[in-house]
Structure 1
């Protein structure tokens, strides 16, 4: 038997989200993620050159506080 997770959720074991993954988690379009990021609505992405990635831990904390109101 494998010790790998049996879930079909592609975001279940991620430590970071890209814009597409974050959009899926929030239930919005990728365009919404881009706009919200530019407006400062979302947590700041990680400082990676040429890429936007969000820490799963930071996104989870944001959703637990005020983010759920924005994403609803």
Structure 2
């Protein structure tokens, strides 16, 4: 599992056929174990997200 931090840009690859890839920025790390983050997606929506199944790709780290 990728360690996520505030400001990191991520992509979520769906495991469902036909579902588009989502991208956004981690706003807050809410929990570390298990990882739970708040993400603002490129479409402007904000959700809490729990990465699972290796579907998260770190696109750009804030560091």
> TM-score, normalising length from structure 2?
0.27
Q: Could you say which structure has the higher strand fraction?
A: 2
Instruction: Work out which structure has the larger RCO, using CA pairs closer than 8 Å and 6 or more positions apart in sequence.
Output: 2
Q: Could you say which structure has the higher helix fraction?
A: 1
Between Structure 1 and Structure 2, whose CA radius of gyration is higher? 1
> TM-score, normalising length from structure 1?
0.25
